[in-house]
């Protein structure tokens, strides 16, 4: 995929553009986007099968969906009763499973 993302205890998700990386070298020192929207540590993130939406899960009991074209939050789900440790997309990219 085009992007690589990482989660952090600072409540952010950082996104890097892998197309800008030179073969045999590491990614740029600075991410192309820092996604802010969680109110607690971010535990996990995963791209949908098409790579155009990123789901992030966190200790704030929420899963947030991010549009990778705009790097903006599109939807937030706060239905969990405990910190969300991981989330995963269905094979067709229409559903998300979250684990607390």
Please state the domain extents for the chain: 3-99
- pTM for this entry: 0.90
Q: Look up residue 37 and give its two tokens.
A: 């929207």
CA distances from 65 to 1, 22, 47, 76, 77 (A): 17, 29, 9, 6, 8
16-25, 53-62, 71-80: which is most confident: 53-62
In the 8-state DSSP scheme, what is residue 100?
A: -
pLDDT digits (tens, 9 = 90+) for 29-52: 789 999 999 999 999 999 999 999
Q: What's the pLDDT score for residue 21?
A: 64
Q: What's the pLDDT score for residue 26?
A: 64
Residue 73 pLDDT grade (very low, low, confident, very high; cuts 50, 70, 90): very high
């Amino acid at each position: 995929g085009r992007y690589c993302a990482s989660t952090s205890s600072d409540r952010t998700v950082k996104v890097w553009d892998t197309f800008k990386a030179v073969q045999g070298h590491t990614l740029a020192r600075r991410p192309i986007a820092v996604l802010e929207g969680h109110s607690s540590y971010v535990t996990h993130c995963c791209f949908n099968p098409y790579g155009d939406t990123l789901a992030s899960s966190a200790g704030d009991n929420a899963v947030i969906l991010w549009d990778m074209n705009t790097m903006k939050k599109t939807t937030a789900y706060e239905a969990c009763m405990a910190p969300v440790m991981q989330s995963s997309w269905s094979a067709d990219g229409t559903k998300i499973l979250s684990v607390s």
